[in-house]
Chain A
């Protein structure tokens, strides 16, 4: 992008982003120290903190949060690395790759409900073996879901996070010279897992560090997933905070705000600890990696990860397939493996919504995502320029960290602060406000997906084009962006599905006056009725799945289509 004044643009973008984040933070910090005028609290004090530390549930929630919030990303990372090492550039793996997008597109709560139905004692797994094999005429009194150790929650998190990590890794592989490395290592006699472990993964990790951090932060703060499949006596800290915030006793919000601040600090500490452990681990294993042995005992770690990873993927799929079945069910009782009575009613009830709310949903998602793509390109270009000028390969910009703040913070307290800001600006309830809030949540994902490929782009193509004929803007679009098409489309699809899934931001910014498919689906699914949830999940997943699918087929065929169009028009025109 032929930009001038990159410094100023950087400052401007950072400032625009800082303001809402700052306000959101203030909105969480003040009540945490007892300052909350609307309920008559005008004096600072540490009372909310004392109350929180006196609460025994706080400690058990925290423990559970740490176990699930660290365990899930670790597992997800291990399984994703294993699957990648096992299948990368093998023909059958392409198929698995295309199957990732529906999992990415389906909202978290829907996957959790699907898994709950798969795994619970009256769930589908027990049903297919009952009563002919297990002898269960009634479901056993087991604890297979919502277990007090959070194992089922960890599993659900892995199901959702592993595909995301795999997706990010596949995108990041494009900026490594993977094929050459694999050939060279194999020629030297390294086994597949050993070469990944010793050569490729250490190169890949730094590129995907941020996505991993997002996954860790997500695991620590997730509410909807944990509400459905997580334990509830006690629940994770995020769910406990959510309950405190929603408690009719408004004074509980003070304690909730203190908890939100504490959770933020926890996230920072966990991320710090994670990075520290990674450094230690890579120091410790450096000798082993460079000892020249062609295979090692830890290769099995990747090998077993493949099996677990496949099990995870398969159960995710079964869970996803069960939801549409529910939306067609009239009666489906234990121990029937399939509904005993079928109906179109559930679908019929959902379709008018689809028609009614499509324009709202699509316009919000499209505008927010296109803006996010444009902003990301702008930010990445300024970043590239300044990196070029300073000659430092890893210069960090303020916005590299700033944009992640919204997704790293517990939504509920943060959004309250933002809502107050919107009211001050008299923007509340407007369409623009919804788009702005969506942008905040979409931008990080779009930026992150684009960052690797964009910065890895070989600028020489563009230079060469401009040497032949100096048309910088034209070439930026027709050469650089055209070559980055696959990443651009993927980033768009990612942003789009994130925007579609937003519930609280839409409700708060729109004040409930602009309904989208998600606000409607979440409200209707509030009853937990699986038939409703099934049809609503279909509704919510409808557009993201299409967009992901388009993002995969369009870039590959774009040139062919463009050329076909060109010849068509050439034929038509007189010259």
Chain B
């Protein structure tokens, strides 16, 4: 009784609060004027850095908000900093206003109350253009409920790359991959867990190999981990033996895998960035005979987000930035293969005709797959699987 009453009153409050949303947003814009937003984001790619700089210039002109990109080598540097501030009791005027993150970093920050919000569901562009039902990963970041604590920025999906000169018909499933590795020892590898692409490879393999797929959407503690993952480990036992450097080493990132592909040390590389192959060909890091492809059963996809730390000194400015980055203008530019090539999070159907035409007109790089070719994405398993898989992997193969 009390519960339902509470629920009713919350619903009422929500309904009430959505009415003056417009007015609220005007207040936010007003408050944001003159603020400086320190945006902590991975700075390893020139094209992404340039895109952020473009956004900074646009935002300065339109909203009088200064966006400063703090380039990080690792997102955890930013998480550590917020944590140190909380330790020292600095609950206001923190040094970070906006973080680019997803998955485990998000879960860690959300669980430890290091985030500001909820805010994303009240951003005008979110209300206008995002369709929460289009993709599970918009509301569930690696299985953790987003609850408005972060605003979607772009989408990623696992793709595989091969050089058509050396490998005509690439393996398109996990069993085929193993067969190929056995026939060509040392030419197949995956990046080292806990690197997120490495863990994703494990999840992808688990999807294809396990007999109990439903278990993956639940927290690990609710299922029999060893029973579900047994086929994965016996698969990897075989694969690692014939893998690159006999499974004694694993590459540390997608970039390293592409380098190895270019050096012809390996035949197949993975990436989370669907336009990676085209961008790298353009930069001279891959031969122009490289093409992307995905497995027959589809590959894992996820969404990456922007979040605001709980002690941000410019949360209004940060919301303005997040909102701008959700605009069709920013998302179209982001999806341009020559700019970044990162997939839009906006719902095509909700866009205006003019914007739809702009999306349709986007050129594709020579090695980039179309949305249709990318097909259906497999959802990320619940985020607790990440920890469990990487721990077990290290226990078995890194001792």
Contacts and interface: CB of A to CB of B under 8 A. Distances in A.
A527 B44 contact: yes
A231 interface: yes
B186 interface: yes
Given A121-B265, A233-B398, A343-B284, A528 B87 contact: no
Interface in B76-109: 76-77, 79-81, 83-90, 95-96, 103-105, 107-108
A248 B104 contact: yes
A56 B395 contact: yes
Nearest to A424: B88
B305 interface: no
Contacts of B247: 233
Contacts of B108: 248-250
Interface in B173-213: 185-187, 192, 194
Contacts of A56: 395, 399
A246 B264 contact: no
B287 interface: yes
Contact of B105 (A141, A248, A333, A420): A248
Interface in A516-537: 519-520, 522-532
Given A524-B46, A524-B71, A248 B79 contact: yes
> DSSP class of B's interface residues: helix, strand, loop or mixed?
mixed
Given A232-B252, A248-B107, A423-B90, A507 B264 contact: no
Contact of B194 (A122, A247, A329, A343): A247
A49 interface: no
Interface in A106-142: 121-122, 138-139, 141-142
B350 to A, nearest CB: 32
Interface stretch (A143-151, A365-373, A541-549): A143-151
A513 interface: yes
B263 A141 contact: no
A334 interface: yes
Interface string A213-256: 00000000000000100011111000000010111111000000
Interface in A281-340: 329-331, 333-334
A122 B387 CA distance: 33
A33 to B, nearest CB: 15
Q: How large is the interface on B (under 10, 10 to 19, 20 to 34, 35 or more residues)?
A: 35 or more
Interface stretch (B19-27, B35-43, B116-124, B148-156): B35-43
A233 B250 contact: yes
Contact of A513 (B70, B80, B84, B104): B70
Contacts of A522: 73
A150 to B, nearest CB: 12
A94 B103 CA distance: 56
Given A234-B399, A248-B108, A428-B95, A143 B263 contact: no
Nearest to A144: B245
Interface residues of A, number: 67
Contacts of B42: 523, 526
B211 to A, nearest CB: 28
B398 A419 contact: no
Contacts of A235: 398
A416 B88 contact: no
B285 interface: yes
Interface in B22-80: 38, 40, 42-46, 49, 68, 70-74, 76-77, 79-80
Nearest to B263: A122
B192 A528 contact: no
Contact of A529 (B86, B90, B250, B285): B285
Given A38-B112, A148-B248, A526-B73, A233 B192 contact: yes
B259 interface: yes
Contact of A416 (B84, B112, B250): B84
B238 to A, nearest CB: 17
B126 interface: no
A37 interface: yes
A234 B193 CA distance: 12
B87 A38 contact: yes
B312 to A, nearest CB: 13
Contact of B253 (A245, A249, A515, A528): A528
A142 to B, nearest CB: 8
Nearest to A423: B88
B255 interface: yes
Contacts of B245: 141-143, 146
B246 interface: yes
A410 interface: no
Contacts of B395: 56-57
B249 interface: yes
B259 A528 contact: yes
B284 A341 contact: yes
A420 B84 contact: yes
Interface in A39-64: 39-40, 56-57, 60
Nearest to B384: A249
A540 to B, nearest CB: 14
A38, A334, A520 interface centre (most CB from chain B within 10 Å): A38
A162 interface: no
A141 B83 contact: no
Contacts of A122: 260, 263-265
Nearest to B79: A248
B342 interface: no
Nearest to B288: A331
A234 B265 contact: no
B95 A512 contact: yes
Contact of A530 (B248, B259, B264): B259
Contacts of B160: none
A508 interface: yes
A343 B87 CA distance: 48
Contact of B83 (A38, A515, A532): A38
A526 to B, nearest CB: 4
Contacts of B45: 527
A143 B249 contact: yes
A138 B95 contact: no
Nearest to B101: A248
A294 to B, nearest CB: 49
A513 B103 contact: no
A499 B79 CA distance: 25
Interface in B262-288: 262-265, 284-285, 287
Interface of A: 36-40, 56-57, 60, 121-122, 138-139, 141-143, 146-148, 227, 231-235, 243, 245-250, 329-331, 333-334, 341, 343, 349, 416, 419-421, 423-424, 428-429, 503, 507-508, 511-513, 515, 519-520, 522-532
Given A234-B399, A235-B398, A250-B83, 7 more contacts: A143-B246, A423-B88, A423-B89, A512-B71, A520-B71, A528-B253, A529-B255
Please list the 5 inter-chain residue pairs (A to B) with the smallest Cβ-Cβ separation, ordered nearest first. Answer: A141-B186, A248-B104, A423-B88, A512-B70, A526-B44
10 contacts: A39-B83, A141-B246, A227-B252, A232-B250, A419-B84, A421-B88, A423-B88, A512-B72, A523-B71, A523-B72
